[in-house]
């Protein structure tokens, strides 16, 4: 054994990566949860938790690579937006021993079907910043941090655009902003901001319906979110 390996011969914490995966479903913000196994020796058997798992030192060359792999395993898709949220660690968060998890949050433009996501995964509505089931480990705290981060960044960025399908109208986009922020936005001001941001481009067709035809848009190619000069001020 080399001197370097000898110098690193000390107990290591369990290391995991967990993902907070958001999508819009049934006109509400949803988060993807997985149900833990009920086998003997499993911590929090049968409880709901954020999707994630242990870092594979052979397959994962970074924490982000692990997050992408776990997201693909649970949803069957690769998120267009992935951001590191933070790290949580203690001697008590996992009954198996000292553990640390590195959390990411992801945004999906469409909800995967049952055939796409893992059999143990389900979507849960976020109501008043919470979900109904009590989450395993400290995943409730991680979810709260992710919701707060998402809502904070939505105030001054184009993050909700990553929740949109390939084609949408301006009212569609405004509705997604309102769902995430949990408040109504002023229509004309929102429209002016979106068009001025050079974020979207019109398509050569309209959406037809019972009312007046609506212009369809799509996102312009962008490697990162657009940042606005000011936040969306609450009405009134």
pLDDT (tens place) for every residue of the chain, 236 residues total: 455 555 667 778 899 999 999 999 999 999 999 999 887 888 999 999 999 999 999 999 999 999 999 999 888 888 889 999 999 999 999 999 999 999 999 999 977 777 777 788 899 999 988 899 999 999 999 999 999 999 999 999 999 999 999 899 999 999 999 999 999 999 999 999 998 888 899 999 898 877 788 999 998 877 788 898 888 865 55
**Helix count and strand count (H, E) for the chain:** 5, 9
Residue 147 confidence (pLDDT)? 96
Q: What is the pTM of this model?
A: 0.90
The pLDDT of residue 2: 54
Whether the CB-CB separation of 141 and 49 falls below 8 Å is answered with no
Distance CA 56, CA 136 (A): 22
146, burial (CB in 10 Å: exposed 0-12, middle 13-18, buried 19+):
buried
Helix 187-196 vs helix 170-181: angle between axes, to the nearest 10 degrees?
110
Q: What span, in angstroms and rounded, lies between the C-alpha atoms of 26 and 12?
A: 43
106-138: per-residue pLDDT in tens? Answer: 999 977 777 777 788 899 999 988 899 999 999
With residues binned 3-state (H G I as helix, E B as strand, rest as coil), the percentages for the chain, rounded to 5, are 25, 30, 45
């Amino acid at each position: 054994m080399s001197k370097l390996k000898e110098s690193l011969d000390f107990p290591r914490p369990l290391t995991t990566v967990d993902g907070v995966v958001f999508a819009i479903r049934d006109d509400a913000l949803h988060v993807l949860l997985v149900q833990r196994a009920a086998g003997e020796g499993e911590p929090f058997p049968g409880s709901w938790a954020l999707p994630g798992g242990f870092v594979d030192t052979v397959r994962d060359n970074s924490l982000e690579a692990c997050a992408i792999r776990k997201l693909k395993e649970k949803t069957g898709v690769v998120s267009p937006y992935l951001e590191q949220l933070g790290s949580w660690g203690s001697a008590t968060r996992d009954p198996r021993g000292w553990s640390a998890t590195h959390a990411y949050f992801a945004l999906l433009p469409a909800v995967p079907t049952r055939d796409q996501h893992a059999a143990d995964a389900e979507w849960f509505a976020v109501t008043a910043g919470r979900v109904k089931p009590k989450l395993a480990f400290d995943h409730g705290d991680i979810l709260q941090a992710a919701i707060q981060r998402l809502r904070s960044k939505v105030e001054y960025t184009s993050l909700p655009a990553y929740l949109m399908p390939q084609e949408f109208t301006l009212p569609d986009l405004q509705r997604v902003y309102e769902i995430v922020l949990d408040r109504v936005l002023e229509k004309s001001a929102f429209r002016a901001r979106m068009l001025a941001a050079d974020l979207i481009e019109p398509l050569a067709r309209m959406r037809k319906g019972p009312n007046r035809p609506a212009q369809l848009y799509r996102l312009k190619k962008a490697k990162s979110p657009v940042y606005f000069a000011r936040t969306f001020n609450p009405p009134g």
